[in-house]
Amino acid sequence: MRTAGLVLLTLSAIAIDANAAERAYPVRPIRLLAPYPPGGGNDTMARTIGAKLTEEWHQQVIVDNRPGANGLVAAELTMYAAPDGYTLLMANIGSHAINPALYKNIPYDPVKDFAPISQLGSTANVLVLHPSTAAKTVQELIALAKAKPGQLTYGSNGIGSSQHLAGALFCTTFGVNMIHVPYKGTGPVMTDLVGGQISLSFANMLAALPLVRNKRLVPIGVTSLKRSPALPDVPAIAETSSGFEAVSWWGIVATKGTPPDVVNTLNRAVVKGLRAPDTQAFFANMGIEAGGTTPQEFGAFIKSEMIKWAKVVRESGARAD
């Protein structure tokens, strides 16, 4: 009887320790990998939600920018990290929807190798031109591109990004030839576009809007099916060609095998941060539709996006170099 009692006490102690560990997460800083350099939409979203998580937990969430190969570098680092919730990834349309269709040999499976936490938000891309470009509407840009085949250049935040595919889709839809110039992030794209090194970009709204409002870039179209509330006077490209759509989205995933209680703790904190009034106001000002999903909903969304963008990649003819 005494032995049985000791066993029960030991098991109870283990259970108490486990519960304490669950309540304690996180007990040290968390690394949030951003697959692009500072200055773009992915980085801004990472820092926005990272600040909210830091505020919630009083543990620092460190944004670690690891650009390269449209998210492959950061995704691979996350895939091989310890499954403890202390390494997270800013998943996006490129890393978790487009890459599988674009690359022949991708080093990770967007579904099997990660634990979804929550979608953060989505936004239209906006077709922006340098003010010196001799076009002020989508129709004028089409005419200019046809008059100067192969002379206009469009920058994107990487091969296989929604910005790249928006440009490829634009070319095939309207029968024009523009040259794609891939960068490692939207920040460098905006720098070169403002400087006149490239002609245009299908940039995400989050990165482009401040430059549009400062009159440093000219917006002529958005890639959502309808106009964006953030730019109500700018037509959707779908108004010229029905069905034209290429939007960006972001979310957070952890390494496969992360304990369910940690996943749920992360999800609750992320959703709380997204619903905060200051976050909502910031998103509305920047043309972002807030997310805030369950892990299961985000996992299902990723699967549906992979199917959708595989079709777009095939039809656009886009390929990874």
Residue 184's nearest CA partner among 43, 13, 23, 29 is 43
pLDDT at 21: 44
Omega cis (within 30) before 26:
yes
Res 117 pLDDT > 50: yes
What is the spatial distance between Cα 193 and Cα 131, in angstroms, rounded to a whole number? 10
pLDDT at 23: 56
Residue 72's nearest CA partner among 154, 156, 160, 155 is 160
What is the spatial distance between Cα 285 and Cα 51, in angstroms, rounded to a whole number? 18
Q: Do domains 15-122+248-316 and 124-239 have the same CATH topology?
A: yes
pLDDT at 20: 45
pLDDT at 321: 55
For residue range 165-212, what is the model confidence (pLDDT) as tens digits?
899 889 989 999 999 999 988 889 999 999 999 999 999 888 899 999
pLDDT at 65: 96
Highest mean pLDDT among 68-77, 98-107, 157-166, 267-276: 267-276
Residue 282's nearest CA partner among 148, 123, 97 is 123
Task: Provide the sign of the torsion angle of the four alpha carbons 235, 241, 243, 249, taken in this order.
Answer: negative
For residue range 214-270, what is the model confidence (pLDDT) as tens digits?
999 999 999 999 999 899 999 999 999 998 988 889 999 999 999 999 999 999 999
Q: Looking at residue 304, what DSSP letter applies?
A: H
124-239 maps to CATH 1.10.1060.10: no
Q: What is the 3-state secondary structure (H, E, C) of 59-123?
A: CCEEEEECCCHHHHHHHHHHHCCCCCCCEEEEEEHHHHHHHHHHCCCCCCCCCCCEEEEEEEEEE
More confident residue, 206 or 129: 129
CB proximity list for 5: less than 8 A, separation 6 or greater:
none
- Show me where the domains of the chain are located: 15-122+248-316, 124-239
CATH architecture of the domain 15-122+248-316 equals 3-Layer(aba) Sandwich (3.40)
Q: What is the pTM of this model?
A: 0.81
For residue range 3-48, what is the model confidence (pLDDT) as tens digits?
444 444 444 444 444 444 445 899 999 999 999 888 888 999 999 9
Confidence at 68, pLDDT banded by 50, 70, 90: confident
Q: Give residue 319's region: left, alpha or beta (phi > 0; psi -120 to 50).
A: beta
Angle at 116 between CA 55 and CA 107, to 5 degrees: 120
